[in-house]
């Protein structure tokens, strides 16, 4: 059974007692890697919208949360996590951050009060995606202040432990910055989710399996509670697309990615919750690989490998 891997849906059920969905929010932030404070170009794989193509940038935070309640998906769960998704969602003053997080929380309760249909809906969590160099003690303290009523987690991009590849990616922070951000967040009891990408471009063409081994060892050595994994994909309007067009970067094939994923899933610390194993670039901007837009190819493929090779042994979740 595939759910013996420590997947996030089961984890949420164990923590919140029921199915839990995320309400994705574009908080109107930017990123130090885009506004010129560190760089203007952004990471070479990052799309114009900082991975928030499906979000409505024109709507306020309040409107985004309220409009989510008109979607059918909401009927499928009673517990919700507010998820500030794209760009760097701690890149502002503490006052501004508080205002934005509070706006989202009050919009949730407003939607609940305004319709008896939503009376049973519960807000259980706040999840913030950001960069390690946008975390400090003050911000971690602010996040900690929500822990009285919400499960709070921060998703930090690492992508790779290899700082040479990271420079090539124009990541503009070091793996030590990542490590320091985890320490700061954990000091304030905030759950940390690392984001890694498999098959990244590097000076020599593409990162190797050795890079994956080192990245996983690094993560295993840190106080990290969750991980998001996906294969590197090429979207339009990026430097990576230029490299792909020139033939200097080739994404992993589905088979190659599945093999790397098997390694990762069987070598990660067992308590680390797997939040994602596939990417989800919008079809209209995805350039390559085409298999990336079919999540089931990865999920079903991994399930089959694990069943066939009995790789569940010793793995994770209580059955
Ligand atoms: S840090 Fe994140 S939002 Fe900023 S450029 Fe890199 S991937 Fe994009």
What ligand 1 atom has the least distance to the C-alpha of 34? 5
Taking the C-alpha atoms of residue 152 and residue 148, their distance in angstroms, rounded to an integer, is 10
18 Cα: distance to centroid of ligand 1 (angstroms) = 32
Taking the C-alpha atoms of residue 25 and residue 220, their distance in angstroms, rounded to an integer, is 30
Predicted local distance difference test score (pLDDT) of residue 280: 80
46 Cα: distance to centroid of ligand 1 (angstroms) = 6
User: What are the tens digits of pLDDT across the range 89-138?
Assistant: 999 999 999 999 999 999 999 998 888 888 899 999 999 999 999 999 99
Residue ranges in the chain whose pLDDT is less than 50: 1-3, 313-319
Predicted local distance difference test score (pLDDT) of residue 273: 96
Whether the CB of 158 sits within 6 Å of ligand 1 = no
Contacts of 139 (CB under 8 A, 6+ apart): 90, 94, 97
Predicted local distance difference test score (pLDDT) of residue 4: 58
What ligand 1 atom has the least distance to the C-alpha of 32? 4
The distance of Cα 317 from the centroid of its chain, to the nearest Å, equals: 21
98 Cα: distance to centroid of ligand 1 (angstroms) = 22
Whether the CB of 228 sits within 6 Å of ligand 1 = no
Predicted local distance difference test score (pLDDT) of residue 311: 63
Taking the C-alpha atoms of residue 127 and residue 12, their distance in angstroms, rounded to an integer, is 13
Residue 22: enclosing H or E segment and its boundaries?
Answer: strand 20-25
User: What are the tens digits of pLDDT across the range 11-53?
Assistant: 999 999 999 999 999 999 999 999 999 999 899 999 876 565 6
In this structure, which residue's CA is closest to atom 3 in ligand 1? Answer: 87
Predicted local distance difference test score (pLDDT) of residue 58: 79
Q: Which of 62, 42, 63, 59 is nearest to 51 (CA)?
A: 42
Predicted local distance difference test score (pLDDT) of residue 319: 30
Q: What CATH class does 2-309 carry? A: alpha beta
101 Cα: distance to centroid of ligand 1 (angstroms) = 20
């Amino acid at each position: 059974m595939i759910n013996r891997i420590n997947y996030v849906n089961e984890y949420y059920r164990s923590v919140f007692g029921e199915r839990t969905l995320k309400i994705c929010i574009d908080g109107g932030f930017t990123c130090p890697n885009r506004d010129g404070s560190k760089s203007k170009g952004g990471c070479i794989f990052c799309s114009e919208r900082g991975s928030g193509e499906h979000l409505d940038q024109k709507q306020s935070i309040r409107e985004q949360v309220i409009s989510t309640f008109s979607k059918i998906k909401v009927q499928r769960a009673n517990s919700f996590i507010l998820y500030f998704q794209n760009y760097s969602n701690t890149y502002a003053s503490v006052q501004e951050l508080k205002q934005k997080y509070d706006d989202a929380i009050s919009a949730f309760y407003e939607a609940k009060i305004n319709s008896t249909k939503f009376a049973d809906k519960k807000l259980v969590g706040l999840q913030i995606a950001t960069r390690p160099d946008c975390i400090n003690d003050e911000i971690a303290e602010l996040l900690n202040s929500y822990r009285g009523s919400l499960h709070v987690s921060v998703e930090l991009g690492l992508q790779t432990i290899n700082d040479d590849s990271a420079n090539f990616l124009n990541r503009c922070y070091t793996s030590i910055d990542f490590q320091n951000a985890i320490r700061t967040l954990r000091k304030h009891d905030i759950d940390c989710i690392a984001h890694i990408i498999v098959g990244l471009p590097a000076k020599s063409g593409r990162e190797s399996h050795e890079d994956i081994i080192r990245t996983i060892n690094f993560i295993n050595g840190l106080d990290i509670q969750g991980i998001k994994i996906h294969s590197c994909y090429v979207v339009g309007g990026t430097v990576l697309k230029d490299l792909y067009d020139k033939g200097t970067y080739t994404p992993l094939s589905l088979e190659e990615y599945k093999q790397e994923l098997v390694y990762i899933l069987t070598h990660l610390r067992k308590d680390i919750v797997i939040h994602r194993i596939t990417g989800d670039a919008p079809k209209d901007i995805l350039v390559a690989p085409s298999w990336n837009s079919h999540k089931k190819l990865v999920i079903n493929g991994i399930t089959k490998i694990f069943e066939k090779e009995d790789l569940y042994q010793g793995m994770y979740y209580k059955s």
